[in-house]
Chain A
Amino acid sequence: MSLIRKTAAELGALVASREVSAVEVAQAHLDRIAEVDGRVNAFLHVDAESALTQARAVDERIAAGETLGPLAGVPIAHKDVFTTTGMPTTAGSKILEGWLPPYDATVTRRLREAGLVILGKTNLDEFAMGSSTENSAYGATHNPWDLSRIPGGSSGGSSAAVSAYEAPLSTGTDTGGSIRQPAAVTGIVGMKPTYGGSSRYGLIAFASSLDTPGPFARNVLDAALLHEAFSGHDPLDSTSIDAPVPAVVEAARHADVAGMRVGVVKEFGGEGYQPGVLARFNEAVELLESLGAKVVEVSCPTFSYALPAYYLIAPSECSSNLARFDAMRYGLRVGDDGTRSAEEVMALTRAAGFGPEVKRRIMLGTYALSSGYYDAYYGQAQKVRTLIMRDFEAAFQQVDVLVSPTTPTTAFPIGERADDPMAMYLADLCTIPTNLAGNAAISVPCGLADEDGLPVGLQVMAPTLADDRCYRVGAAVEKAFESRWGGPLLSRAPAL
């Protein structure tokens, strides 16, 4: 089998045993990128020279007898919202075009320490705001299953890179579903860890109370290995949880749900959901039951208010966070002709540097936080957040995990929702409650929808710091489905 089809765990083992060099593994993926990325557009920046230098360093350390981690020498595609020294970081925005950060994000630093080989930076919706990657200032990314469709968003470059075999692993960030939704619509695994379980230091902020870095992979074990590699307490992030990383790798190796209590969220389904998505979801629930899980229906009545609450809270936080793009210290500066004031230059720069979705959200947040509207909008949304946390608490008294479809529909055509913000926002209907409550959730493939032959994701939600349960259930579902399908879902994707 060619190197690009192997799992991250397999590649790590091959490099560690010196059967294959890290340089060969990196080169195979660079060749694949050169072959297909002109059509997929997953990457904003590829640095072959740097990748080969990193790979050579891993090979030298192994040759010198060092024992490295399980992912040493494994290539990774890194979402272009994490700062990286030596590589530009744009957040998909013109306002940061060509910016070279003076420091590494904690996630970046930990990837380097684990010996992962960073191939380049992946495309995203500008400042991670979107569900399709169409909001990138550098052009849309295409879904490898059907190049006329979206790869999800905001981490759509990362989902496309992994599903197109350009990298076995990638990083993402999930603020309202930006890891799980892209994973679902490209037929791969994506995990949103517990908020505070992975560091935000050096992650360009969108909504600070929600932003969570997490892994993409083509299987559950690989996702767990990457999760473990970059997670854990970080003194540089004031909301980082000072607790051990949940035993995610061990859980991914114990694909057993016998006796587990699984709750089906009653509020997710019906109108607005594609029949083929619901059919695959119902099969996944039956599968869990056949594997010995005890399935019950659970009601979370306030979940239907999560979407409106999110579209007040996230824009409010974004309007504050993006004030830092002031044209003074880094990034774009427009109109500084010696006659204009700093404030005029600032307004001209932000108008030129931000795309339409970012402008919409900044103004929406500014509105929701204005005097006279604060109580009705931002204040009410924060109360809804409390109610959603209470719904989760009550649900997790009855069950160990909750399940739902990850997204209401499969990947939609590029352009279909581009100028209809409310239609676009519906893509995150099922993923948002978990962001508001801060707990953990994973998306794993559960088949193809009959109508369009496109991938469907199963979402598994677990309590705060019980991330391991997501991996345990995800691994059990993956094992049972793959034996039924005769291999991974992704092996049924058309050749690029």
Chain B
Amino acid sequence: MSAITRDQVAHLARLSRLALADDELDHFAAQLDQIVGAVARVAEVAADDIPPSSHALPLTNVFRPDDVRPGLTPEAALSGAPAVEDDRFRVPRILGEEE
């Protein structure tokens, strides 16, 4: 049921924000096809009446009192930033020229 094509890998790379080179697309297409073919076996067992589990523990929301607590200073928060300006993260443009 798999058959991952080169075009599909290019689409997945775009969704994953990975600027892959042409030779990488071919390489990953063959490998992902093999992996998806193998993991598709999960369809063999689990029937419709089996509930899915996202987690091993029975989870409930955890709340804490809404108290003010110390957090990172601006210097600490920005300490690993690739570029900083006026106590802020400096980022490349997020809108196109025409927008």
Contact = CB atoms under 8 A, between A and B. Distances in A.
A269 interface: no
A311 B1 CA distance: 17
Given A305-B45, A363-B28, A386-B51, A347 B40 contact: no
A209 B54 contact: yes
B56 A364 contact: no
Interface stretch (A95-103, A129-137, A223-231): A95-103
Contact of A241 (B52, B57, B96): B57
- Give the secondary structure class of A's interface: helix
A131 to B, nearest CB: 15
A346 B17 contact: yes
Contact of A350 (B19, B62, B80): B19
Interface in A329-343: 329-333, 336, 338, 340-343
A366 interface: yes
Interface string A377-390: 10111111111010
B41 A305 contact: yes
B53 A363 contact: no
Interface in B27-71: 28, 31-32, 34-36, 38-47, 50-57, 59, 62, 64
B24 to A, nearest CB: 8
A415 interface: no
B42 A384 contact: yes
Interface string B1-26: 10010001100111111111100100
A382 B80 contact: no
B39 A311 contact: yes
Contact of A319 (B4, B16, B45): B16
Contacts of B35: 311, 360, 364, 421-422
A350 B42 contact: no
Given A239-B57, A331-B82, A347 B17 contact: yes
A237 to B, nearest CB: 9
A323 B50 CA distance: 31
Nearest to B42: A380
Contact of B18 (A103, A327, A347, A381): A347
A332 B32 contact: no
A192 to B, nearest CB: 12
B89 A328 contact: yes
A364 B32 contact: yes
Interface string A296-322: 000000100100110110000001000
Contacts of A360: 28, 31-32, 35
Contacts of A389: 53, 56
Interface-central residue, B39, B62, B72, by most chain A CB under 10 Å: B39
B56 A436 contact: yes
A343 B15 CA distance: 11
A367 B32 contact: yes
Nearest to A363: B12
Given A209-B54, A389-B53, A351 B20 contact: yes
Given A360-B32, A421-B35, A438-B57, A333 B16 contact: no
Contact of B93 (A102, A341, A386, A437): A341
B91 A422 contact: no
B1 A376 contact: yes
B28 A384 contact: no
A238 interface: yes
Nearest to B46: A383
Nearest to A328: B91
Query: Ordered nearest first, which 5 A-B pairs have the shortest CB separation?
Result: A438-B56, A383-B46, A330-B80, A382-B52, A333-B82
Given A239-B59, A350-B16, 8 more contacts: A329-B89, A330-B80, A362-B16, A363-B9, A363-B18, A383-B42, A384-B42, A422-B35
